[in-house]
Structure 1
Amino acid sequence: MDTINNDKGLFIISLDFELFWGVWDVTTREKYGDNILGVKDVIPRLISLFDLYNFKATFATVGFLFAKNKKELLAALPGNKPAYSNDNYNVYSREIPAVGNDEVDDPYHFGYSLFQQLQQTGHEISTHTFSHYYCLEEGQCAEEFEADIIAAKNIATANGITLYSIVFPRNQVNEEYLTVLKDNGIAVYRGNPTSWIYKPRKFTAEVPFIRLCRLLDTYFPISGYNTHIIKKEEGLPVNVPASRFLKPYNKNLAWLEKMKLNRIMNEMTRAAKENEAYHLWWHPHNFGVNITENMANLTIILDHFQTLQKKYGFANCTMKEAAGL
């Protein structure tokens, strides 16, 4: 197993770009619609802020979002679809029939104009699977996952994008599927932090105690420093592990914001000093409300990155670049 980054620390940001496709099975438009609609403002503001800091990120994009309209979406669907035992996860039978015609008609499910904005930047556009595929849920199999990845590659290629990296939806990293990725040209994936509280699990295994531990870990060093050395294992995609989810601003927890940011910045400093990688992630829709406060928090983080860059040579890169590609 070869080490990739050993001469400088790396700061990676990946964003799970999914709109309503990422949450349709756990919430409703009435409850979460403002977050989804807010992404139309979030994406250009992220692009502008990253430009200000000369910063490149990875936008892991659900394949459905490469479609301009419902006709293109339906034409891109794979023949071999996931056969989840729990049909409540089946986006093809449960959600697609209710989708509108295009981005104007249905901004919850379509975001081609946002993809176009990203395409004009130097950011990496990677995959979040084609259908927001759940790799650990019962019923689905490797052949169905491969059909999903091929569909994601095909619709990306049709839009001038070559996919190199992947973020597993719900962080359900299935190690048995890594060879499927490699066989289909996906050379990098975002793994989970090493602590047991971040172990890949089925959705039903995400019990309240584990969620509480993760919440506490946002503010207190429950899991220690989540910095990593990126290693390359022969025959498999490179794991660029996640370090921390950037929890969005919540006015009810505003008194903890400073602790949250200090937790992140302390980990970043550790990575810079030890020549390790630090990988921050979130969803654009997390910033879809309280946009001003969320962007202010990100600005603080990027300011700290610049300080570490000058002091320790801390470097920014995309997931693809972190894997040496």
Structure 2
Amino acid sequence: MQLDPKVNKGKPLLVISLDFELHWGVFDKVSPEEKRADFERTKVVIPRILEVFERYGVAATWATVGMLLTESREEWEHYKPAELPTYQNPQLSPYHWVAQNGYDSAIHSAYPLVKQLLLTPGQELGSHTFSHYYTGEPGQQIEQFRADLKASRAIVQDKCGKALQSLVFPRNQFDHQSLKICHEEGFATVRVNPSDWFWKEPVKAGLLDKVFRTGDAVFPLGRHTTFAQDKLLQTEGLPLQLPASRLLRPLGNYSLMNSARIRRIIGEMTFAAKHGLVYHLWWHPHNFGHAPKESMRDLQRLLEVFKKLQQDYGMCSVNMGKLAKEAKAN
């Protein structure tokens, strides 16, 4: 595999970020038993994702919940911050959940996979906060968020010898204050939401927002999802804000919808390649756990398209951290 050593402004780019969280991302919505089989299959499919990324020369940022690096309840207790989130709804706190249900390494730990991704060329270990922290939820305080980021940095430094550069906000919740904290804690870039109205306020998203988000995955209901490198928002005192383009939605029950969502992504990638723009695709690895074979088939189809766009238009694959460095250099 050969990754592009330098990204020139105006060169079309494919950016991929993955929200790596397993049970820490859904504990407040589903019981472990409802998703346990999916999580087990996810742990099997992630090495296959890494293998095809390496084969096709594709870089990616794995925004990882820091708790996934723990290997026991004792280690989890050791790294958890002194200041815990005081959500008005305590059911949103993983600390509350573990106190009631215990720690289960089968669904709460993925350290061997983190080590494997670090050995795969082009893959960046990013942060999805330590505890899947919600910056937009009532009751939380900004210094609790800072403590969470410090815990995430500490475990990654201790166990991986890496300094985190890129962050993805859980459930896409962020504001100016949380962006400022990210910058102060050393993060160079963060993923932010598309500019469409139905992505504006994730915490307050209603049925209409969700309907338009789902529909836009198949039909062009919003604005162009691609963007120029020189339009990236770089504000003093804040990290580089890298917009998401498209969520690779999990397979559904309807084959026509599944095919349409892949065609939509291919069309957007092709538009980016032809016009020298950036396309930022993201998903949750555990979404592949539901139908691993079919999900890998779709991913390989997208990567085949990327290779064709690379040959025809010079499209490059970069992770979030690499793009932030190039943007700063330019």
TM-score for both structures, normalised by structure 2? 0.92
2:190 maps to 1:186: no
Q: 2:15·2:320 contact (CA, 8 Å) conserved in 1?
A: yes
Question: What's the RMSD between the two structures over aligned residues?
Answer: 1.5
Q: 1:11·1:315 contact (CA, 8 Å) conserved in 2?
A: yes
Tell me, which stretches of 5 or more residues in structure 1 are unaligned?
none
Alignment of 1:64-143 (within 5 A): 64-100=67-103, 106-122=105-121, 123-143=123-143
Aligned to 2:246: 244
Tell me, which stretches of 5 or more residues in structure 2 are unaligned?
1-6
Q: CA deviation at 1:311?
A: 1.0
Tell me the percent identity.
39
Q: 1:5 to 1:201 in 2, by over 3 A?
A: farther
Aligned residues: 315
2:205 maps to 1:206: yes
Single out whichever of 91-100 and 183-192 deviates more from structure 2: 91-100
Which contiguous aligned blocks of 4+ residues in structure 1 show a shift greater than 3 angstroms?
A: none
Q: CA deviation at 1:206?
A: 2.7
Counterparts of 2:31 and 2:110, CA distance in 1: 18
Aligned to 1:167: 168
Counterparts of 1:233 and 1:8, CA distance in 2: 23
Q: 1:240·1:322 contact (CA, 8 Å) conserved in 2?
A: no
Kindly provide the amino acid, as one letter, of the partner of residue 126 in structure 1: G
Single out whichever of 233-242 and 297-306 deviates more from structure 2: 233-242
2:38 maps to 1:35: yes
Q: CA deviation at 1:173?
A: 2.1
Q: 2:198·2:205 contact (CA, 8 Å) conserved in 1?
A: no
Counterparts of 1:135 and 1:83, CA distance in 2: 11
2:223 maps to 1:224: yes
Q: 1:99·1:106 contact (CA, 8 Å) conserved in 2?
A: no
Counterparts of 2:146 and 2:172, CA distance in 1: 17
Aligned to 1:234: 236
Aligned to 1:8: 11
Q: CA deviation at 1:124?
A: 0.1
TM-score for both structures, normalised by structure 1? 0.93
Q: 1:182 to 1:90 in 2, by over 3 A?
A: same
Counterparts of 2:102 and 2:41, CA distance in 1: 19
Q: CA deviation at 1:28?
A: 1.5
Q: CA deviation at 1:97?
A: 4.6
Q: 1:57·1:318 contact (CA, 8 Å) conserved in 2?
A: yes
Counterparts of 2:298 and 2:224, CA distance in 1: 20
Counterparts of 1:118 and 1:147, CA distance in 2: 26
Single out whichever of 187-196 and 26-35 deviates more from structure 2: 26-35
Counterparts of 1:70 and 1:285, CA distance in 2: 22
Q: CA deviation at 1:176?
A: 1.4
